[in-house]
Every structure is written in structure tokens, then in C-alpha cells.
Amino acid sequence: MNKGGVDVFDQLCHAQTTTCKTKRWQLRYFFGELDAAVLNAYIICTLDGAREEDANFSLAKFLKDLTFALAKQLMEQRIIKKFLPKILRTEIATVLGKELTAVLILKYTLRFLFNRLVVIIIFVSD
């Protein structure tokens, strides 16, 4: 890779970046490496030809799709947590494209109350 290639790579890395303002140099280094990894993955994906049919496929769209794919599993795990506030649970359901019904909320609430009751019974019986 020549000097011009490095300059183009740096320009592309900074065009759509993952960095945020931080005073810790370790995080700045991590975000720089993450930008390089995302750009390399984007280049491989576009060279693969799998996205040729999508004319609007850009680095920004790739970054958004990649972020959602990495966070989706964690969001699906968090939506069933007992102690998660209803507002946050509703927002996660909206992002995932699922409808959070009253029956589902009731199920989570009953599970939470049952677990509390079991703990109280065990505590009292000791």
C-alpha cells in the first residue's frame, strides 16, 4: 500500500466513524481500530458482490446494519429481564419491531412476583 492508499483509507475511516469524545487514550485507540475493522469489512462485503443489487448500500448503512446485528441478540435477552423498566422494555420492543403486549408485560410481572414470593417463603421457613 502506498502513501496515497493510506490517505484514502484514513479519509474513509473518518467519513463514518464510531468514535466519541473521550480523555482516555486507550478508548481512542480502540475506536480507531474499530473504524479500520468496519471499513475493511465494508470493502470485503462490497467486493464480494452480495450487495450489487442495492444501489443505496453505503458505509453508513453498512455500519447501521452491523451495529443492529451485533446488538440484536443482547436486546432480545434484555427484553425478558425482570427488573428492566417498562419504558426501556417498550423501546427495545420498538427497535426490534416486536409489539410488547399487555399479556407479555403481565407474564413478566407475574414471574417477578412469584420469584419474590419464593424468596420470602424460603427466608421465613429458615
User: What pLDDT is attached to residue 118?
Assistant: 57
Whether residue 66 is found in the same domain as residue 86 = no
User: What pLDDT is attached to residue 53?
Assistant: 62
Whether residue 58 is found in the same domain as residue 2 = yes
Of the candidates 39, 34, 32, 33, the one whose C-alpha atom is nearest the C-alpha of residue 12 is: 39
Q: Which of 29, 52, 70 is at the close of a domain? A: 70
Whether residue 103 is found in the same domain as residue 51 = no
Q: Which of 70, 87, 104 is at the close of a domain? A: 70
State the cell numbers at 31: 475506536
- N residues, the chain: 126
User: What pLDDT is attached to residue 109?
Assistant: 65
User: What pLDDT is attached to residue 102?
Assistant: 61
User: What pLDDT is attached to residue 107?
Assistant: 65
Q: Which of 23, 43, 70 is at the close of a domain? A: 70
Residue 84: helix, strand or coil by DSSP?
Answer: coil
Whether residue 109 is found in the same domain as residue 59 = no
User: What pLDDT is attached to residue 105?
Assistant: 63
Global pTM reads: 0.59
Whether residue 100 is found in the same domain as residue 124 = yes
Whether residue 87 is found in the same domain as residue 46 = no
Longest pairwise C-alpha distance within the chain: 75
Residue ranges in the chain modelled with pLDDT below 70: 1-2, 48-56, 100-109, 111-112, 115-126
Task: Mention every residue, 6+ apart, whose C-beta is less than 8 A from residue 77.
Answer: none
State the cell numbers at 66: 452491523
Given a contact cutoff of 8 angstroms between Cβ atoms, the answer to whether 80 and 93 are in contact is no
How many domains are there within the chain?
Answer: 2
State the cell numbers at 86: 417498562
Whether residue 48 is found in the same domain as residue 89 = no
Whether residue 61 is found in the same domain as residue 20 = yes
Residue range of the domain that includes 123: 79-126
State the cell numbers at 95: 427497535
User: What pLDDT is attached to residue 47?
Assistant: 80
